[in-house]
Amino acid sequence: MIADILAETEAKMKKTVELVKREFAGIRAGRATPALLEKITVDYYGTPTPINQMATITIPEPRLIVIQPWDRSQLGAIERAILKSDLGITPSSDGHLIRLVIPQLTQERRQELVKSLRRKAEEERVAIRNLRREANEMLKDLEREGEISEDESFRAQEQVQKLTDRYVAEVDRLLEAKEKEVMEV
């Protein structure tokens, strides 16, 4: 029973950390990466489709993304989707491929990105702490119902706290690495 609660809580905390990784990967740090395009979908014959499922995405240079659609008729739709997105990059097309030149970030924009990163990281830390609270409530309910002893409940709550500390530290580590990447000129 206790092991189930701990395993479930840890699985949820892992998912939260994975979410942080995906969120951070999608934030532009002045360097080209295919992750920038992950959230952008194109209306492909009435179906919203991610760009990476309808084109080859390559990074020939550190500041350039090249998108080569498998269906050339979708070139305009991909361009429109990129323009509508919040990337802030204007695509250029030659009829066969789309080129995205990643502009150099200003110091002010870097600081805005860092603030945004910190806000996202704090939201995820709160989510992890909420998972801790839920697990502790379940353990206290088991103790009240007499299914586990007070000592078992206390030890299990300590384990939940250790999990919480570990995953909050992981979010902090990811934040620190991404901040360093964003502030790098």
Q: Of 101, 116, 137, which residue sits at a domain end?
A: 101
Residues 151, 113: one domain? yes
- pTM, entire model: 0.70
Q: Which residue has the higher pLDDT, 145 or 39?
A: 145
Residues 21, 112: one domain? yes
What CATH number does residue 76 fall under?
A: 3.30.1360.40
What CATH number does residue 178 fall under?
A: 1.10.132.20
Mean pLDDT of the 172-181 span:
91
Print the domain residue range for 121.
2-26+106-183
Q: Of 101, 117, 134, which residue sits at a domain end?
A: 101
Burial class (CB in 10 A: 0-12, 13-18, 19+), 52: middle
Residues 16, 54: one domain? no
Q: How many domains does the chain have?
A: 2
Confidence band, pLDDT 50/70/90 cuts, at residue 32? confident
